Amino acid sequence: MHKKPILKMKNISKNFGCVKALQNVSIELYSGDVLALMGENGAGKSTLMNVLCGAITSYEGEIFIEGNLIKMHSPTTSRNAGIAMIHQELQLVPELTVAENIYLGREPRNFFGLVDNKKMNQMCEKYLNALELNINPSVQIKNLRIGEQQLIEIAKALSLNANILIMDEPTSALSKAESQKLFKIVNKLSNEGVAIIYITHRMEEIFAITNRVTVMRDGQYIGTVNTVDVSKDDIIAMMVGRTLSELFPKEIIPRGDKILEVKNLNFYPKEYQSSRALRDISFDLHKGEVLGIAGLMGAGRSELFDCIFGLNYKQTECEMFIEGNKVTIKKPLDAINNKIAYVTEDRKDQGLVLCRSIGENMSFPLLNKYSKRMFMDTKKEKKDWDLQMKNLRIKAPTYYSLVSSLSGGNQQKVILGRWLLTRPNILLLDEPTRGIDVGAKSEIYRLINKLASEGMGIIVISSELPEIIGVSDRIITLCEGKVTGEFMRDDFSQEKILEAATLTKEGDLCAI
């Protein structure tokens, strides 16, 4: 007997002006299904899911939930239909507590109609325990690391007890151990009959937890296949319309002179900060070299970049030399003046002003350069914007398009374009391909190779071992704020790097 779908989206279409975001897309989902939704950035995945969760209400086509036709008038309509979505970009209120975020708009009340905080914290602990999160429900979201915030988003969705759960890049900010916890939750929910749509760009996750794969390209439905019947190359070919024999090519470039040297860096976070302290970190970087920084989430990788860029000057002790000259970087402007650029991990909150255009976002570090006395040199600005749009293949109608309208991959390219306009000699890249599809990853890798070949020194942080191995000439590992290993390219192996990233110099296991 043929099983009836719990969800059926039929001939869904959506236009944004002259751009056809979705063209007659149809998908089906069954109870207990874990369906991977794949496609390059801009393929239409997020638009389709925004239609399903009620964020986009003007669309063509039909949506059936358990056989009943439902028009998604609002997110409330979707939630009442048993649908919950975990967004890639965090939807949390920084000033509120963990419990307040999870039950926002659904707070339990006492006899007098006031919020029952004690009960709310107790209810919250159930979902924190399910994710093995040792976090106080009363702590403010802003005091958590981004990976912990991602898990709070997941706990929030679990608290809705949805029949259909949409997960958009849920592991993008999680460590390997945290991702494994999430996979257990996915399997448990699936066994309980919850249907899950799982959006990810990490191929290994597809084969670990999903049973079917649906692929989209350029706003169109390409096909659905059983996960056990396809290979990684098959899925990539469906996604990009071509075979990628080598996803992330690495060019071997002769190492030049030393461009950066950091000696005995120590960072002392304040008591209220959740940042990792750093101890006695020393390393160097050469022209034309790509130096990888590997480590578990919370090892201190991002804190290291913040210190180099002058964000934590008063709490940092170190000696820093650029091309042999001792420098003192007290603030980001000092770093920019010393030809250092920093692409942060969190592009939404730290990298971009979403309500501004592509061009404006690119110009922010260069307002002095573009200003002529009291007026902006708009001709020069537009010339540079146009050049970066073409060189980085940013998919948008014009540089006047709002950054908020772009896919994650194109938003990342805007940040890269901004910093490349400063003509840096040293480029710091913190998770540069987080939430980006395989095609965009390949473009960014090629860009890294090109910049290195031109003599730039590049430091890359990545949580994906295959990625850090694929892009780097040399790798150093951090664990609990200390350097625990260094590997040249000939010595790279996932086993060696993971071992170094999980062991302190004293031989103890790092906290995972």
Q: The CATH number of the domain where 462 resides is what? A: 3.40.50.300
Q: Given 3-state DSSP classes, what are the helix, strand and coil percentages for the chain, each rounded to the nearest 5?
A: 35, 25, 40
Q: Strand 7-16 to strand 290-294: parallel, antiparallel, or no bridges (unpaired)?
A: unpaired
Q: In this structure, are 334 and 347 located in the same domain?
A: no
Element (H, E) at 57: none
Pair 84, 157: CB distance under 8 Å: yes
> Which runs of consecutive H residues, i.e. helices, occur in 192-347?
203-209, 232-240, 301-308, 332-337
What are the structure tokens assigned to 149, written together?
Answer: 């915030």
**pLDDT for position 503:** 65
Pair 188, 209: CB distance under 8 Å: no
Pairs from 105-110 (Cβ < 8 Å, separation ≥ 24): none
Task: Report yes or no on 249 lying in a domain.
Answer: no
Element (H, E) at 382: helix 378-391
Which amino acid belongs to residue 63? I
Task: Report yes or no on 446 lying in a domain.
Answer: no
The rounded radius of gyration (Å) of the Cα atoms in the chain is 24
Task: Report yes or no on 206 lying in a domain.
Answer: yes
What are the structure tokens assigned to 3, written together?
Answer: 């099983």
> Which runs of consecutive H residues, i.e. helices, occur in 87-226?
98-102, 117-130, 146-158, 176-191, 203-209
User: Alpha-carbon distance 124 to 138, whole Å?
Assistant: 10
Residue ending a domain, among 371, 401, 423, is 423
A 10 A CB-CB count for 13 gives 15
3-class secondary-structure state, position 214: strand
Q: In this structure, are 184 and 77 located in the same domain?
A: yes
Q: In this structure, are 78 and 127 located in the same domain?
A: yes
Q: In this structure, are 96 and 13 located in the same domain?
A: yes
Task: Report yes or no on 407 lying in a domain.
Answer: yes
Q: In this structure, are 354 and 385 located in the same domain?
A: yes
Q: 291: which strand partners? A: 459, 474
Give me the DSSP letters along 154-186: HHHHHTTT-SEEEEESTTTT--HHHHHHHHHHH
For residue 484, give Cα distances in angstroms to 177, 465, 501.
19, 16, 7
Q: In this structure, are 292 and 188 located in the same domain?
A: no
Q: In this structure, are 323 and 364 located in the same domain?
A: no
Pair 501, 484: CB distance under 8 Å: yes
Beta-carbon contacts of residue 177 (< 8 Å; ≥ 6 apart): 296, 512
Task: Report yes or no on 330 lying in a domain.
Answer: yes
How far is C-alpha 378 from the geometric centre of its chain's CA atoms?
A: 32
- Closest to 211 measured CA to CA, from 201, 197, 222: 197
Residue ending a domain, among 370, 405, 423, is 423
Q: What is the DSSP letter of 53?
A: T
Q: In this structure, are 308 and 404 located in the same domain?
A: no
Q: What is the extent of the structural domain holding 92?
A: 7-240
Number of structural domains in the chain? 3
Tens of pLDDT along the chain (512 residues)?
357 899 999 999 998 876 688 999 999 999 999 999 998 766 888 899 999 999 999 999 999 999 999 999 999 999 999 999 988 777 899 999 999 999 998 899 999 899 999 999 999 999 898 887 889 999 999 998 877 888 898 888 888 888 999 998 888 777 777 788 889 889 988 998 999 999 987 888 999 999 999 999 888 999 999 999 999 888 878 887 654 445 666 778 888 999 999 999 999 988 777 788 999 999 999 999 999 999 877 789 999 999 999 998 999 999 999 999 999 999 999 999 999 999 888 776 677 888 888 888 888 877 777 776 677 778 888 888 888 888 888 888 888 888 888 877 788 888 888 888 888 999 999 988 876 767 777 788 888 999 999 999 999 998 878 888 889 999 999 988 999 999 999 888 888 888 888 764 454 545 44
Q: Strand 60-65 to strand 7-16: parallel, antiparallel, or no bridges (unpaired)?
A: antiparallel
Pair 482, 324: CB distance under 8 Å: no
For residue 465, give Cα distances in angstroms to 84, 295, 337, 401, 496.
31, 9, 33, 35, 11
Triad 37, 38, 44: Cα angle to 5°: 85
User: Alpha-carbon distance 230 to 217, whole Å?
Assistant: 18
Triad 471, 473, 474: Cα angle to 5°: 115
**pLDDT for position 18:** 66
Task: Report yes or no on 250 lying in a domain.
Answer: no
3-class secondary-structure state, position 347: helix
What are the structure tokens assigned to 218, written together?
Answer: 């350029």
Task: Report yes or no on 278 lying in a domain.
Answer: yes
What are the structure tokens assigned to 120, written together?
Answer: 């709310």
- Closest to 16 measured CA to CA, from 55, 56, 61, 62: 56
**pLDDT for position 512:** 40
Q: In this structure, are 324 and 347 located in the same domain?
A: no
User: Alpha-carbon distance 90 to 84, whole Å?
Assistant: 14
What are the structure tokens assigned to 112, written together?
Answer: 């007098």
Q: In this structure, are 154 and 35 located in the same domain?
A: yes
Q: In this structure, are 365 and 316 located in the same domain?
A: no
**pLDDT for position 228:** 95
Pair 173, 150: CB distance under 8 Å: yes
Q: In this structure, are 297 and 353 located in the same domain?
A: no
Task: Report yes or no on 442 lying in a domain.
Answer: no
Find the farthest-apart pair of alpha carbons in the chain and give their distance in angstroms, rounded: 76
Residue ending a domain, among 206, 240, 274, is 240
Which amino acid belongs to residue 81? A
Pair 446, 249: CB distance under 8 Å: yes
